Every structure is written in C-alpha cells, then in structure tokens.
Copies of this chain bind each other. A is one copy, B any other.
Amino acid sequence: MSPISPLFTDLYQLTMVASYRQSRKYQIPAVFELFFRNCPFDGEYAVFSGYDRVREILENFKFSSEDIQYLRTQESFAGCSEDFFQMLMTIDLRDVELHALSEGELCFARLPLLQVRGPLWKLQLLESALLNAVNFSTLVSTYARRIRLVAGDRKLIEFGMRRAQGPDGAMTATRASFLGGFDGTSNVYAAKKFAIPCVGTMAHSFVQSFTQESLAELLDQESPECRQHFLAGNSTGNLGELASFISYAKTFPHRSLLLVDTYDTIQSGLPNAIRVFEWMRSKGVSPGGIRLDSGDLVYLSKRARQMLDEAGFSEAKIFASNDLSEDVIDSLIDQGAQIDAYGIGTHLVTCQDQPALGGVYKLVELNGEPRLKISQQTEKLVLPAAKKAYRLFGKDGRMLLDYLCLRSEPAPQVGQEVFALHPTDPLKRVKVIPSQVEELLRPIFKHGRWLADESLEVSRNLSLKKMELLREDIQRRKNPAAYKVSISPALKDSFQKLFEKESPPMELR
C-alpha cells in the first residue's frame, strides 16, 4: 500500500548493475520498451492501465541505508566495490524519461506500452517493479472491459477483495476494473482512495444471526399494525430470515438489498423479502431489491422477477453473485436471466481465464544503436530500436492499424500513403492512406516529475470511448479478427541487418 524500497526487484538486476559498473557501461544511454506478445483471454485487444503504481515507483525510488547494509552483507555482492554501493545510495531518476500510452488506451500485441530512456543501470533497476505495476493492472482492466461488453448497461460491481493477492492486489483490481468500465466496488478502502461508488448488500452470517426468537423480540418493539403485517397468514419462510430482513430494512430503508438464498430462495427468501417490501411500501418507501448467491441463476432470477412483479415490485432490482465470469454472464444473458446487476469477485481479481499478462521489458537501443534479442523461439523475438508508435484511422473514424517506425523517420501524414509491413511474416504488407494519425507514446515522467494528471474518471471515459473505434470483428469474444501492429520498411530493414549480424545461420553437418 505504501511505496517500498528499490530492493523490491529481482536480484539479477542488482548483480547486472554491479557488472555494468565494473565494465564502465552503466552510464550508457539506453532505451527499454515494455510490451506483451499476446493479447490476454484469446482476444485481440487489451486496455492499458497502471499509472498509479508506476508513479509510486518513480517518485519513491530511494534505497535506505538499511537496504544498502543488507546488500553489503550478502554473499552475492561480496566482491563489489564501495563505489557500487555509493552509486545505489545516491540514485535519482532525474535523467530517466518515461513515455507511455494514455491510461485507458487500447493496446495490442507488440505495441510498446512504456518506453523508458536513461542510463542503462537505472533502467535495469526499474524493470521488475514496472512490470509488476503494469502487468496485473492491464490484465484486470482488459477483463473488466470484456465483461462490460457482454453485460451491456447492466450494473457491474467488483466484489473480489477476499480472493486477491493481499491488500494491494485488491486495490489494484478495484481501480483497474473501474477503469475498464465497472460501476463500483464493495471494497470500502478502495472506494475512498479512488473516489468511486461503493456497493454492498448483506452476508449469510447476517441472516443466520437472527432466529425465530429474534423475530418475536423485534416485533415486540413495533406497532400492533406492524406485528399484524408480519405474523398474519401462513408463510413458508424462515422466521429468523424474516427478522434479519426487517432489521436491515429498518436501518437502511432506502437501500435494502436482501440476500434471499440462506435457507431456500423460492420458499423462504423471496416470500420474506416481499413481505418486508410490502411493509415498506405501506410506509411510502420503495424496495431496493434482492441478491441471489447460489443455485441456477437463470431459473431463480426469472422466478424472482415474476414473484416480485406479481407483488407489484417491478422496480425492485435483482442482483446476482456466485463465481461469475465473462463466460457465465454471457450465458446468463443469452438464456434470458432477469438480472439487473452483477457482483464479480474471484474471476475478476484473479482473471482465472488467464491469470497473468506476459508483459516484458526489453532493451531495444543502447548508445543510439538498436539491440536485438532472438532466443530459441520466434515468438520471443524482440523488435530492435527505440520506436515511435502511431495509430492510423480510416475514413469512417475507426482504427485501421498501429504503425511502428524508427524515431528518425517522419510521422505518417493524413492523406499520404503509408507502407506497413508485418513484423515477421514477409507475405503480409499493406498500403494505408490514413484520415487521422495519432502518436501513441507521450511523456509521463521527465526531470524527476510526473506529468500525467488525468483523473481516473477521465481514463475510464477514454477506455469506453476508444472501444467504439475498434471494429466489431476485432472486439469479438471468440475467434476475433486480428488487429495489425505493423512496422515501417526502415524498421524492418534495421531488424534484418541486425539479425544477420548477430545471428549467422547455424551450420548443420
């Protein structure tokens, strides 16, 4: 929750820095880019987020003397010179520059999300923390956006804190899901911190904590008319449950969302809820609604809707929870479930369908020269050179493709033909005449200062708006069409030359 030490990094970052120092390379100007190789959830897009933690890292990047003392005592650093520890001790990031997509912007495989420029050793030390900051947040924003696409304008509330990875996992999930299009959260601390709506109903323990005897006690304090209302006629409902509903509605008359599945939804929970709503109606108060948390949500929500409507409570909302995911919500809606609001927990905060975004942070330029990484797998290849990234739009205002080129190249111009190549497939290339050109990376940290001041609300709106500019077949949940992230001929050329130089063909004998 609080800024932590630059020791929050992988050990090799520090050992590499020690070695850079010894070989006097540490000050060489470098450029790293952070990107992912595949969009999550078998999709073709992602929603970038994570500014808050990136900012926290950059604004608090100081080793304490205790940190340095710890390193001194580690065998790993036994041979390191005093200079090395001094260098760490006095680190500051005034000569580090960060360029990034706007938060909430759509992003795609191989598009740089962050470009970091500065002395090699400082960028190396930032790697692990920046990845930690961007990977999870972007993953959750993306999943939230996918659920939003499925859910239309139904309410979506994040409910996941109990299954998140500790407090800041939960906090990040809340913020990122709001940015991706959710309406609120149950996490009070996050709601306060990010100034977003907080939503809650009641738990089973509340219902369980009332008994038949509680009802008698409760009604003893009420008017004869009230007693009459709640005791008249036959009811199949559990009387403790009824007491819990009455008690809650007394405390929160205008926000009574009653949890109806503790004993039996149809036989007990709903009749009890309706009886309470009837009493409130007689006092001129409209009902909140009910929450379903188990069982067949299609059947139960339809029955609940019918029972509520028949009792004259068509304005009462039906809220559903219980292990909901993008797929489940899609299927519920498909089957005509009568649900007005969804509470999504585990699946959202763990992104069960793909629990990690494989964002990586790679050296692309050193001392003004492009650098290459090949590895044993073509998909792990890194496009060399510090790049500029443009988004080209068509006549209809929609996104055509993203275009990466060398920093020395001129920007694509509106109305002028651009030749765009696939990064690896030589048979795929296209000519584009853009009607609009957007540069995607903008400075967000420079001279030690954070420059991006948009509110979370603004980023959320951006993420909602930008989605409309993406073709529907690319938005598609299953087997989406591919969005192109292309490269310029000059970038391709630079890549080819470097490849030939660094990796001559293997000789088979």
Contact with A208, one of B296, B372, B376 (Cβ below 8 angstroms): B372
Closest chain-B Cβ to A304's Cβ sits at a distance in Å of 12
Closest chain-B Cβ to A286's Cβ sits at a distance in Å of 15
A80: chain B residues within 8 A (beta carbon): 251
Closest chain-B Cβ to A499's Cβ sits at a distance in Å of 10
| A232 adjacent to chain B (CB < 8 Å) | no
In this complex, what residue of B is CB-closest to A352? B355
A389-410 contacts to B (CB < 8 Å): none
| A216 adjacent to chain B (CB < 8 Å) | no
B251 with A19: CB separation less than 8 A: yes
| A1 adjacent to chain B (CB < 8 Å) | yes
Contact with A166, one of B32, B172, B203, B377 (Cβ below 8 angstroms): B172
Contact with B along A1-13 (1 / 0, CB 8 A): 1101101111111
Contact with A375, one of B70, B159, B240, B261 (Cβ below 8 angstroms): B261
Contact with A135, one of B163, B261, B295 (Cβ below 8 angstroms): B163
Stretch of A186-194, A330-338, A483-491 at the chain-chain interface = A186-194
Number of interface residues of A (CB under 8 A): 128
A165: chain B residues within 8 A (beta carbon): 136, 164-166, 168-169, 172-173, 349
A206: chain B residues within 8 A (beta carbon): 12, 16, 19-20, 124
Contact with A132, one of B131, B166, B251, B359 (Cβ below 8 angstroms): B166
Contact with A294, one of B133, B375, B507 (Cβ below 8 angstroms): B375
A327-369 contacts to B (CB < 8 Å): 346, 349-352, 355-359, 362-363, 366, 369
Supposing A206-B16, A265-B376, A346-B356 touch, asked if A10 and B187 sit within 8 A by C-beta, the answer is yes
Contact with B along A491-509 (1 / 0, CB 8 A): 0000000000011101100
A74: chain B residues within 8 A (beta carbon): 198
Residues of A within 8 A of B (CB): 1-2, 4-5, 7-16, 18-20, 22-23, 25, 28, 30, 32, 53, 67, 70-71, 74-76, 79-80, 120, 124, 127-128, 131-133, 135-136, 159, 161-173, 186-189, 191-192, 198-211, 214, 218, 236, 238, 240, 247-248, 250-255, 261-268, 293-296, 300, 346, 349-352, 355-359, 362-363, 366, 369, 371-377, 380, 502-504, 506-507
A-B contact pairs, 13 of them (CB 8 A): A1-B4, A9-B189, A10-B186, A15-B252, A79-B251, A127-B205, A132-B166, A163-B356, A165-B349, A205-B373, A261-B376, A346-B358, A350-B356
